[in-house]
Structure 1
Amino acid sequence: MTTPMPPDNPIQDLLDFIDRSPSPWHAAASVEAAVQTFQFARLDETAKWQLQAGGRYYVVRDDSSIVLFVLGSKAPVEAGFKIVGAHTDSPGFRIRPHAATVSSGFARLGVEIYGGPILATFTDRDLSLAGRISYLDEHGKLAYRLVRFDQPLLRLPNLAIHMNRGVNEDGLKLHKQNELPPLFAQLTGEQLPQPYFLALLEQASGIPAAQILSWDLAVYDTQKGAVWGANREFYADSQIDNLASCHAGLQALLADTVMNDAHSTLVCAFFDHEEIGSQSHVGAGGSFLADTLQRICIATGMDREDTARALANSFLISADMAHGYHPNFPAAYDADHRVYVNQGPVIKSNANRRYSTESVSAAQFIRWCEDAEVPYQRYSHRSDLPCGSTIGPIASAKLGIRSVDVGCPMWAMHSVRESAGVDDHDYMIRVLKRFFSD
């Protein structure tokens, strides 16, 4: 089977992918669009699956989580599953159900904080809205549609230093209830904020306001991604954590030599809700991946014991970004475990299993790096600081599959504008291709 060529410029392709994906719902749609030219067939979770040897498939749950797989030349009971897991969501703001309010003639949007964003980075940015709306179609049936405002629609202006004299010494502190609603319009006396907001949704979606029932809307930064640095060795964009890992896994899976020569069943699983704990029907703590793997086993004629054997012979790479050393803040890092941008993928370890890595899985990843001629680094968080986590421990425990947590080093994780290294993204794609090809 012939397949399209991979992109000539992986970083520009990554930036374009991120810029097409301002919300988890758009991220899943971007992945779906990318695999259409590679002859992937969409499966319906409510239908009976008929799978063909060597087939390429994907399944979407609730528009924001997606699992892709390529059936290998050997049955899963013989060769297992090789899985790359990542997540489609990023920290930020989500719009409340009663969205719009007015204060002194200025319309604002009520927001809730999603995950753990660096709040101050959202100030003085050209922000807008993207996500999904639910509505009644012309037949009175419930339907869904992606919606995105391309133009800057919102802003969270800073308070002038003349009224906040200690901001440079104390840092910018925003009251989460009162000071986070972004401004989006100046209304006349007869205009009501909520109908005005619904009219904007109608304009953006083409759905009459009276038919719109609810929404899942994220605030996003409209600034496009960019390559920067004297040698163009860095890149910046929103949502690098963790759309860069989704992109790397996708590019590795779509490599011609990977798909056409696979012995194991290859899987990319990209979940929503990682930033808020993964405990949902679309998150890594839900049944989505387990259901998909089980149904693959059933469709390929395996019984329960064969399924257990297949999982025991499988491996999960949890790909999520890592904390690159920042020379301005050396005290934030364990001196013996600093990892550097553009010096290779990072193997992340934590004794309390905030990461899924243990010695065997780390050694296996090291072997794949060496085979791919890719440098690697080892990271451990400072013992006096709380450590973040990933989908790795959750999915590994749920499935009983050995797992390693890895990621590319980056700066400003959970900022509205993050940065990482150009070389590292290429390194990650190369080692994931080696993993799929092993």
Structure 2
Amino acid sequence: MARLQLLQWQPNPNLVKHHFISPSITFPNPFKSIINTRSRKLSSFAASHQFKQSCCKNESSGSIVGDLLDYLNESWTQFHATAEAKRQLLSAGFDLLDESEEWDLKPGGRYFFTRNMSSLVAFAVGEKYSPGNGFHVIAAHTDSPCLKLKPISASSKAGYQMVNVQTYGGGLWHTWFDRDLSVAGRVILRSVDGSFSHRLVKVTRPLLRVPTLAIHLDRTINQDGFKPNLETQLVPLLSTRFEDLQSESTNKDSISPSKAWHHPELLKVLSDELDCNVDDIITIELNVCDTQPSCLGGLNNEFIFSGRLDNLASSFCALRALVDSSSSPEDLSNEDTVRMVALFDNEEVGSNSIQGAGAPTIFQAIRRIISCLADDKVSEGVVERVIRQSFLVSADMAHGVHPNFMDKHEENHRPKLQKGLVIKHNANQRYATSGVTAFLFKEVAKVHNLPTQEFVVRNDMGCGSTIGPILATGVGIRTVDCGIAQLSMHSVREICGKEDIDFAYKHFKAFYETFSSIDRKLAVD
């Protein structure tokens, strides 16, 4: 059954904001929410009281931090992040589109579509838009480094049931040891009529743990470092019961693949969460997730402690900026462009997937939008002309300077937490920022009195990359790379500044509302 937990993180009630883990939500074909009634009744008063407090605080301060924490606590996986984004868009009045169906778009309309349940494109059309005008896009990604269950996950060692996992992305894997872990993701079920449906599942109670070896058995670890073998030593422990495991493994041909490949006890937990029979589970696509909720921290609650800040913090700020900048007809009445958000999957592993930024998703969406709004009267080179006038903000978390490792940063480019968005530069095109795109994006901030910072990696260190260069080359669109400064990037538990969330949101919202006027002031030879 779904479980709801109410957790308090600090003993002083004057310094703490209570945050609860939302109940496990499932989505039949493809996203309709089903919330366990019993858990909802048990916690309805506490949840309602907390929700009201959060709303009042956010409305009075103009901060979106409380809403971000709720989003992070709901979005354990890329699937849940996309589902929650979809829920918010529908609640805001956006219309859901199907990529496989014909579109009917109108000026002033707000629309979105999803792909693979893990990526999403949303857009709002200005009332004065005409084919040939540009698109203003903010792009981010929904995935984070994590552990994923292997297709055959069941194994046993020394009297324990273990779960075999794959490493996804470039995680700081040592941080996953000695954490209270569980599973969440997507499941395909067989219905009574023989059809199949997608469902999302999230088990909120701790199920798994990767225990470290006692110091008494590894006396040199503090001198030699912790260097676990990711295949043999990064294997989560599930339980001590495995009576039927060996007999099942010898008769796999006589039972369903899901039962043969995964521990029956784990499948029973999933079936309880989904309120279905174990035999209905056809296949699973699960991430291992840290169960500790996202929360505020620091002496003055100035930090956000959470998993998956990279890059759900950027995704949420971009999504919220689009929604709030087009929440009423007046917001789009004088707009002559299309405002867009694109949230992609698989950035952490290179973006080369149908739901990743390497796919032509944005280009296809732009072409279809133009075709719909042109009433089939598309003039020569209209798509190319639109792209020339468009602008993309690649939003991905940035490396804040670490107080204990300051020498890892170039001395004149040390972004700090609570000091605004970081503009990323790299002469070798690991970031897509140019002098012109940086100038334009910083002008948006200047008009609205918002701080910005600069980042360049040291010449003697490697530089990561983002979806910025991928989209800049794939679409041919002007691009700036930016991000919110954070510490502990790719750890199971990350940290960023609370003020930077609001700075990012305001910067993105200002980008949608004022970029056109700023862009027109830049003379082109």
Same fold (TM over 0.5): yes
Q: CA deviation at 1:182?
A: 0.3
Where do 1:77-116 residues align within 5 Å? 77-116=131-170
Structure 1 residues 51 and 7: CA distance shift in structure 2, 3 A: farther
Query: Which deviates further from its counterpart, 4-13 or 258-267?
Result: 4-13
Q: Which residue of 2 aligns with 1:177?
A: 231
**Change over 3 Å in CA distance of 1:258–1:387 after alignment to 2:** farther
Kept in 2: contact 1:258–1:437 (CA 8 A)? no
Would the alpha carbon gap of residues 328 and 76 (structure 1) be closer, same or farther in structure 2, given more than 3 Å must change? farther
Aligned-residue offset at 1:280: 0.4
What is the CA–CA distance in structure 2 between the aligned matches of 1:286 and 1:134, rounded to whole Å?
Answer: 24
Deviations 1:289-347, CA, capped at 9 Å, x for gaps: 22211111111126262121111110000000000001101121111211111111100
Instruction: Quote how far apart the aligned CAs of 1:257 are.
Output: 6.0
User: Paired residues, what number?
Assistant: 435
Verify: 1:229 aligned to 2:298, yes or no: yes
- Name the aligned partner's letter for residue 153 of structure 1: L
Q: Name which of 314, 334, 338 aligns with 2:410.
A: 334
Distance (Å, rounded) in 1 between the aligned partners of 2:328 and 2:511:
12
Give the SS at the match of 1:77: coil
Which of 69, 72, 95 is the aligned partner of 1:15?
A: 69
Distance change (3 Å), C-alpha of 1:122 and 1:204? same
Quote the sequence identity (%).
38
Cα gap change, 1:321/1:159 in structure 2, threshold over 3 Å: closer, same or farther? Answer: same
Runs (4+) off by over 4 Å: 4-7, 256-259
User: 2:501 aligned with 1:425, yes or no?
Assistant: yes
Q: Which residue of 1 aligns with 2:277?
A: 208
Q: How far apart are the structure 2 equivalents of 1:169 and 1:120?
A: 16
Q: Deviations over 1:156-182 (max 9, x none)?
A: 111111112122222221111101110
1:267-298 deviations in whole A, cap 9, x for unaligned? 00000000000000000001222221111111
The equivalent residue for 2:360 is 287
TM-score (norm 1): 0.96
Residue 381 (1) aligns with residue 435 (2) = no
Any idea what SS the aligned residue of 1:356 has?
Answer: coil
* Partner residue of 1:254 out of 323, 327, 336: 323
Q: Which moved more, 1:66-75 or 1:203-212?
A: 203-212
Q: Which amino acid aligns with 2:192?
A: E
Shift of 1:6: 11
Q: Which among 159, 171, 175 is matched to residue 121 of structure 1? A: 175
Corresponding position: 1:269 with 2:323: no
Q: Distance in 2 between matches of 1:170 and 1:254?
A: 50
Greater relative CO, 1 or 2 (CA 8 Å, sep 6+): 1
Instruction: State the distance in 1 between where 2:226 and 2:443 align.
Output: 45
1:60-118 CA-partner distances (Å, limit 9, x unpaired): 00100001111112325343100000000000101001111112221111100000010
Distance in 2 of aligned mates of 1:44 and 1:188: 45
Letter in 2 for 1:306: V
Does the 8 Å contact 2:325/2:509 carry over to 1? no
Larger Rg: 2
What is the rounded CA distance, in whole Å, between the counterparts of 1:161 and 1:21 in structure 2? 35
**1:144-199: CA deviations, max 9, x gaps?**
11011011111111111111212222222111110111011111423556333322
Cα separation, 2, equivalents of 1:240 and 1:165: 34
Aligned 1:288-303 pairs, distance under 5 A: 288-301=361-374, 303=378
Question: Partner letter of residue 209 of structure 1?
Answer: V
Alignment correspondent of 1:35? 89
1:135-154 map, 5 Å: 135-154=189-208
* Separation in structure 2 between the aligned mates of residue 76 and residue 151 of structure 1, nearest angstrom: 52
Q: Distance in 2 between matches of 1:23 and 1:253?
A: 22
What SS does structure 2 have at the residue aligned with 1:254?
A: helix
For structure 2, the residue ranges without an aligned partner over 5 or more in a row are 1-54, 249-261, 515-525
* Residue 5 of structure 1: how far off its partner (Å): 11
Q: Which residue pairs with 2:486 in the alignment?
A: 410
Q: What is the rounded CA distance, in whole Å, between the counterparts of 1:7 and 1:38 in structure 2? A: 17
Corresponding position of 2:427: 351
After TM superposition, the score normalised by the length of structure 2 is: 0.80
Match of 1:396 among 465, 472, 483: 472
Q: In the superposition, relative to structure 1, how do residues 259 and 278 fare at CA in structure 2: closer, same or farther (>3 Å)? A: farther
- Letter in structure 2 aligned against 1:181: V
Letter in 1 for 2:436: V
CA contact (8 A) 2:160 2:242 kept: no
Answer yes or no: is 1:134 the counterpart of 2:188: yes
Supply the AA of the counterpart residue of 1:347: I
Residues 148 and 287 in structure 2, CA contact (< 8 A), matched pair in contact too? yes
- The separation in 2 between residues aligned to 1:289 and 1:364, in whole angstroms, is 22
Question: How far off is 1:201 after superposition?
Answer: 2.2
Kept in 2, the 8 Å contact 1:76–1:265? The answer is no
